[in-house]
């Protein structure tokens, strides 16, 4: 009797989910072919008809001013829009021969008109006032200097890493210049670097493999943590001459740091502080029960749907075809369906810009890795041979158990910022797997994406980050100059 591997481990609900998904992709493929064949004037006519027939889809987005950032096609174009900031592009070769693009915004004194300087000084004074009223951090900050300490003429270094299916663009596409964290850090005197994970739009090169080859996409969170992160950190420290840097990660950017620091004690010594925003290690699942059950039961079926290269390329197709206001509605509907997010803390104008820079490519294998973590509830390494038996089946002796990332062994100070309305963060589970934290802050109404583009981010988040950076960079500077003996980091919790 001929049997099809993988199908014999599906339940009735799994079959329902699989059939529904296959039908969805089949219908979507037919629509996509039709759209490709239609002339552009017909597409524009359809778009105009949708706007007139269903004004509720777009009317709320017509009021905001449309920013030129919406049409910026690259990180370089976004930086050029702001004009005042220097920009560099570096290429890091990993130990397994991937070439990763790393963007840099070096500190540079900004000389502009007196009118701008007056406004800029007012903004800085407001930021300083926000910092001064944070009593919980004032107790351990010794320096009140506006500029952070320097060592041998080198500026303190900060590395920012994006989340899953993203690129470095997400850090610099806030419509208000001073709500972009890299710009705030640069003006505060930091040497800012922004990483790009292998496979995204800026990191699709390899010494011998092409993205057209399946082998190019054979990577998961393991490779992000064990190659990309340490190799990028080493490159940056070599280029800057700094002894260590501060790492700020968002979502998967936190996961790769938790994983990388846990298995690499030498890397821990090179990171003086790890700031985890919207940390993702063990998401509890997806919002919709049918999709959640499908993911938890058989994550490997994703290979049947997407192949072995990259998932969701259709998102880029629809982003190019439909109007930005309608695309905002599509994204809002998708994240609400999958994660239960409302997007209420982002303005309509901000969504029009940020959603155009939201999506970039990654591997199907990394998606499967996350589904494995969701299924098992463990922050574990990729399981190359997943068991046919449901993970939580009682009275079952397993043939193998993938090792967890030993996150309790991390020696780098960790600060965690999370939203109480973020369905992807299980803080109790996270903190149980970590050493004592240096600082914790929960923002009551914030969801996942608010840590990039939420309203009042410059008041609710940035003052805390600047205080932490000054403190831990001051500690690093003191250790390098041997002005006082090394001491343990205290614990601060909000």
pLDDT digits (tens, 9 = 90+) for 243-291: 999 999 999 999 999 999 999 999 999 999 999 999 989 998 777 777 7
pLDDT at 125 over 90: no
- Marked catalytic residue, from 357, 369, 448, 471: 448
Residue 266: count of CB within 10 angstroms of its CB: 9
384-405 residue pLDDT tens: 887 666 656 666 666 778 999 9
- Marked catalytic residue, from 167, 186, 220, 251: 251
DSSP letters along 204-242, please? -EESS--TTSGGGG---HHHIIIIIHHHHHHHHHHHH--
Comparing 233 with 28, the larger pLDDT belongs to 233
CB 17 within 8 A of CB 286: no
Assess whether 251 carries a catalytic annotation: yes
pLDDT in the model for residue 167 = 97
d(CA 132, CA 277): 22
- Marked catalytic residue, from 191, 228, 422, 464: 422
Q: Tell which phi-psi region holds residue 395, choosing left (phi > 0), alpha (psi between -120 and 50) or beta.
A: left
Q: What's the Rg (C-alpha) of the chain?
A: 23
The tokens of 144 are what? 């009140």
- Best mean pLDDT range from 43-52, 374-383, 440-449: 440-449
Supply the CATH classification number for the domain 72-312+359-387+402-482: 3.40.50.1820
The tokens of 294 are what? 């499908």
**Residue 379 burial by Cβ neighbours in a 10 Å radius (0-12, 13-18, 19+):** buried
Short-list 347, 356, 354, 351, CA closest to 318? 356
CB 310 within 8 A of CB 199: yes
Assess whether 191 carries a catalytic annotation: no
d(CA 286, CA 340): 8
The tokens of 99 are what? 């070439």
Q: How many CA atoms lie within 13 A of 41 on its CB side?
A: 0
CB 132 within 8 A of CB 138: yes
Comparing 402 with 132, the larger pLDDT belongs to 402
pLDDT at 430 over 90: yes
pLDDT-derived band at 143, boundaries 50, 70, 90:
very low
CB 302 within 8 A of CB 368: yes
Comparing 326 with 231, the larger pLDDT belongs to 231
């Amino acid at each position: 009797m001929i049997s099809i591997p993988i199908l014999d481990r599906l339940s009735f609900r799994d079959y329902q989910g699989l059939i529904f998904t296959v039908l969805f992709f089949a219908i979507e493929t037919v629509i996509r072919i039709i759209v490709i064949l239609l002339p552009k004037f017909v597409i524009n006519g359809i778009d105009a008809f949708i706007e007139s027939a269903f004004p509720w889809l777009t009317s709320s987005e017509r009021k905001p001013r449309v920013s030129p950032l919406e049409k910026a096609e690259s990180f370089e174009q976004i930086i050029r829009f702001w004009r005042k900031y220097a920009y560099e592009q570096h290429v890091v070769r990993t130990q397994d021969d991937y070439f990763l693009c790393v963007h840099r915004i070096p500190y540079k004194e900004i000389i502009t008109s007196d009118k701008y300087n007056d406004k800029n000084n007012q903004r800085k004074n407001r930021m300083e006032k926000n910092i001064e009223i944070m009593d919980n951090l004032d107790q351990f900050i010794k320096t009140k200097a506006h500029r952070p300490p320097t060592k041998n003429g080198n500026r303190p270094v900060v590395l920012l890493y994006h989340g899953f299916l993203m690129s470095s663009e997400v850090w610099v596409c806030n419509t208000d210049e001073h709500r972009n964290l890299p710009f705030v850090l640069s003006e505060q005197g930091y040497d800012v670097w922004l990483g790009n994970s292998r496979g995204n739009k800026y990191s699709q090169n390899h010494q011998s493999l092409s993205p057209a080859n399946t082998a190019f996409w054979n990577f998961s969170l393991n490779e992000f943590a064990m190659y990309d992160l340490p190799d990028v950190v080493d490159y940056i420290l070599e280029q800057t001459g700094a002894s260590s840097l501060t790492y700020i990660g968002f979502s998967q950017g936190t996961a790769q740091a938790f994983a990388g620091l846990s298995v690499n004690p030498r890397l821990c010594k090179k990171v003086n502080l790890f700031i985890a925003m919207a940390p993702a290690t063990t998401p509890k699942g997806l919002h919709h029960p049918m999709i959640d059950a499908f993911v938890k039961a058989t994550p490997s079926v994703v290979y049947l749907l997407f192949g072995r290269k990259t998932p969701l390329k259709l998102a880029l197709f629809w982003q190019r075809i439909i109007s930005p206001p309608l695309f905002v509605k599509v994204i809002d509907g998708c994240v609400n369906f999958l994660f239960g997010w409302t997007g209420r803390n982002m303005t309509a104008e901000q969504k029009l810009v940020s959603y155009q820079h939201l999506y970039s490519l990654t591997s199907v294998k990394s998606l499967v890795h996350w589904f494995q973590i969701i299924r098992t509830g463990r922050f574990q390494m990729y399981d190359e041979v997943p068991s046919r038996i449901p993970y939580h089946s009682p009275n079952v002796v397993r043939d193998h158990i993938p090792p967890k990332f030993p996150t309790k062994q991390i020696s780098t100070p960790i600060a965690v910022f999370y939203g109480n309305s973020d369905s992807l963060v299980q803080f109790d589970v996270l903190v149980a797997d970590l050493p004592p934290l240096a600082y914790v802050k929960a923002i009551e109404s914030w969801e996942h994406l608010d840590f990039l583009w939420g309203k009042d981010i410059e008041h609710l988040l940035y003052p805390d980050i600047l205080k932490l950076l000054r403190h831990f960079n001051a500690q690093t500077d003191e250790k390098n100059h041997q002005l006082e003996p090394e001491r343990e980091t205290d614990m601060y919790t909000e």
